[in-house]
Structure 1
């Protein structure tokens, strides 16, 4: 196990350094690809995930210097630091919750904002979007390879849901981000290849049996679905494509429906996988409704009944407990400013509103901000959508 751990770390470092030496987006693409593997299921000797996040930070700072910083992103850093400063000053420190816990939790939030702020040139934008829309496939391929060596389980949820090289929840994260990236590429390149990837990524997401991911993905499909229906009426070739596609996925759709129903309704009662009870307990942990208990507080909770909910599986409740009403207002303001600018400077408002709505709904049932496997690709995509007309260049 020790040898395997250090072999993994060596491969990660070699690949990352090679990517940086190429002076293109390969380093970031490489980090996105290796993040499709859930390393805690392979080794717990070293926190590989934390090392990957540190490499993401170094890479983001490198590309900030190389390509520049969007000037308007300064206000987001200011708001984020305001949020953290208020949280830090009013944090409920104890023997379990330390400065380190607070800093590392904020690290993920700020890393997403940094990656959003890179002023990528056009060719790099397209490359990154192509990588992100293929992450679900990469996870499946790596999962088949690693599971063949007995290093992880390719199938999750007690043998019912697709997991790839990660947990089913994480593969759903990649699937939803893959849908968003394919939607943007379809819009910009006007290629039916990416329309196909939109629906294939949704199918992968659905096969993970992640209810929040299926809901978020369904919201994302709405604009393209109506556009596709219009094409069916205008072009006969789309009728044949639709019929063949529908017949080919009848079995997986039936499998998904039956298993989702079994997960959702148990003995005539709605099953939320313990979420409702856990959310009630988590809300009761709040000692400061206005300013919160401190950023990163929840991950240090020792209550055994909340062992699976140290990230809450609900970003609204997590923000409320950790940052209070003030923190929620600041986070909402950050997203409102980001999407206000995107909608103002781009056509097809419906597409961007569905992306925002999808994120908001997914955040109600899962860790879309605290889990870097969703948060970082999502913020990269949002940054790539942004036209970033005003850029601050750094002297080399």
Structure 2
């Protein structure tokens, strides 16, 4: 119970977005701290895999080793240590075996999060605190952002759509409606990569789930195509504009700069968590951000050419280890979610924000194997007791006449 309360509070702090609404500078520390507390409660109260924690330790050893030898003048041990939370949270949430209540709570929280962010965004807009849509200068479009920013709400809606569909398939079919609402929010945000990952992951989940009958798959396909067609028709202009645009959003300026910086520190990088502080003001003015919007390039800048390979190799190995665990069904859902997360890492800050990395955690939780419970009807036992072989009833032999053989009675 403490973990479930803590994760609900952490997500609540995240979607309130007090940093942008109330201009609280330290809110990022509070947000990450809330998730770290939840992950710590989780790993200390559930059965856990020490192998995953050893992989976390190896990644930390790599980060400290490269940090010790870097010659980047702006390196700070304080920045490195404060940045470790982004890998601690993911690894600790992967390391444990969730209870059925943990799984249900995590799926339901993620499913309702986009809707909660939407309502909060409406309240902020009506109160004059913050606009409900954000302007994208590269396309001239206004993208729906709720209480967050469009990119973060797209990630939240992606995870929410997936979580709602999983919970609908596992327990409550009514959550298909929640999945539809989350998907509509995702379309409104204009998130292209998040939309592509959602369609693939949810499609694989629905069609490969053995519990889903062929009839339900057929009905779901027809309803999905009809509703999807209506959504696309209503929002075709904005969706087409987003998909036809280059979508660089400053990445064409930021990435060459970061690649050049990485070439200056090829073996050690500039230090884990330092990329955010390496971007000069003139690049920030041109791109409008200090974020790399590509985790592969960011980690390459921070850990060097070899370090980024080891870092992601350990991360992928950790997910595969969980997937191969006895308590997890060998479903392709986890692998598809991992591939989707890596795809998102090419254009977003997928590892450092709670909007994206829960996709992997949700896929693992939805694939955990629990003992099936088929409740018996009142007054009826689950199984009729088997009749012992020796106690079986034998057929009755026909009666024989009691007189001498061949004599006729009554004559």
TM-score normalised to structure 2 length: 0.76
Three-state SS of the structure 2 residue aligned to 1:134 is: helix
Bigger helix share: 1
Supply the distance in 1 between the matched residues of 2:154 and 2:40 (Cα, whole angstroms): 28
Aligned to 1:179: 161
Matches within 5 A, 1:60-71: 60-71=39-50
Supply the distance in 2 between the matched residues of 1:289 and 1:255 (Cα, whole angstroms): 49
8 Å contact kept, 2:111–2:160: yes
Aligned to 1:120: 98
Supply the distance in 1 between the matched residues of 2:214 and 2:142 (Cα, whole angstroms): 37
Three-state SS of the structure 2 residue aligned to 1:160 is: strand
Aligned to 1:384: 365
Structure 1 window deviating more from structure 2 (206-215 vs 155-164): it is 155-164
Supply the distance in 1 between the matched residues of 2:170 and 2:217 (Cα, whole angstroms): 24
Aligned to 1:89: 68
Post-superposition offset of 1:129: 1.5
Is the alpha carbon distance of 1:73 and 1:383 closer, same or farther for their aligned partners in structure 2, counting shifts above 3 Å? farther
Three-state SS of the structure 1 residue aligned to 2:45 is: helix
Post-superposition offset of 1:261: 3.0
Matched, 1:141 2:119: yes
Is the alpha carbon distance of 1:106 and 1:227 closer, same or farther for their aligned partners in structure 2, counting shifts above 3 Å? closer
Is the alpha carbon distance of 1:82 and 1:37 closer, same or farther for their aligned partners in structure 2, counting shifts above 3 Å? same
Post-superposition offset of 1:167: 0.6
Aligned to 1:214: 195
Three-state SS of the structure 1 residue aligned to 2:6 is: helix
Supply the distance in 2 between the matched residues of 1:314 and 1:291 (Cα, whole angstroms): 19
Supply the distance in 2 between the matched residues of 1:256 and 1:219 (Cα, whole angstroms): 21
Aligned to 2:332: 350
8 Å contact kept, 1:39–1:48: yes
Supply the distance in 2 between the matched residues of 1:348 and 1:68 (Cα, whole angstroms): 20
8 Å contact kept, 2:253–2:283: no
8 Å contact kept, 1:232–1:238: no
Matches within 5 A, 1:103-252: 103-157=81-135, 160-189=142-171, 191-224=172-205, 226=207, 234=215, 238=219, 242-243=222-223, 250=229, 252=231
Supply the distance in 2 between the matched residues of 1:259 and 1:86 (Cα, whole angstroms): 47
* Partner deviation per Cα, 1:226-247 (whole Å, 9 max, x = no partner): 469x9897369927x945x655
8 Å contact kept, 1:90–1:293: no
Three-state SS of the structure 1 residue aligned to 2:174 is: helix
Supply the distance in 2 between the matched residues of 1:309 and 1:83 (Cα, whole angstroms): 28
Structure 1 window deviating more from structure 2 (25-34 vs 310-319): it is 25-34
Aligned to 2:390: none
Give structure 1 stretches of 5+ with no counterpart: 1-21, 390-396
Is the alpha carbon distance of 1:242 and 1:58 closer, same or farther for their aligned partners in structure 2, counting shifts above 3 Å? same
Supply the distance in 1 between the matched residues of 2:323 and 2:197 (Cα, whole angstroms): 20
Supply the distance in 1 between the matched residues of 2:216 and 2:25 (Cα, whole angstroms): 55
Supply the distance in 2 between the matched residues of 1:301 and 1:361 (Cα, whole angstroms): 25
Supply the distance in 1 between the matched residues of 2:322 and 2:309 (Cα, whole angstroms): 20
**Considering only aligned residues, what root-mean-square deviation do their CA atoms show, in Å?**
3.2
Three-state SS of the structure 1 residue aligned to 2:64 is: helix
Supply the distance in 2 between the matched residues of 1:235 and 1:109 (Cα, whole angstroms): 39
Q: 1:370 aligns with which of 336, 340, 352?
A: 352
Matched, 1:47 2:47: no
Supply the distance in 1 between the matched residues of 2:214 and 2:9 (Cα, whole angstroms): 42
Post-superposition offset of 1:383: 5.7
Post-superposition offset of 1:386: 7.1
* Partner deviation per Cα, 1:218-276 (whole Å, 9 max, x = no partner): 22133146469x9897369927x945x6555545413543223323445xxx3422223
Aligned to 1:278: 254
Is the alpha carbon distance of 1:311 and 1:24 closer, same or farther for their aligned partners in structure 2, counting shifts above 3 Å? closer
Is the alpha carbon distance of 1:133 and 1:185 closer, same or farther for their aligned partners in structure 2, counting shifts above 3 Å? same
Post-superposition offset of 1:373: 3.5
Matches within 5 A, 1:14-29: 23=2, 25-29=4-8
Post-superposition offset of 1:283: 0.5
Post-superposition offset of 1:320: 1.2
Aligned to 2:291: 311
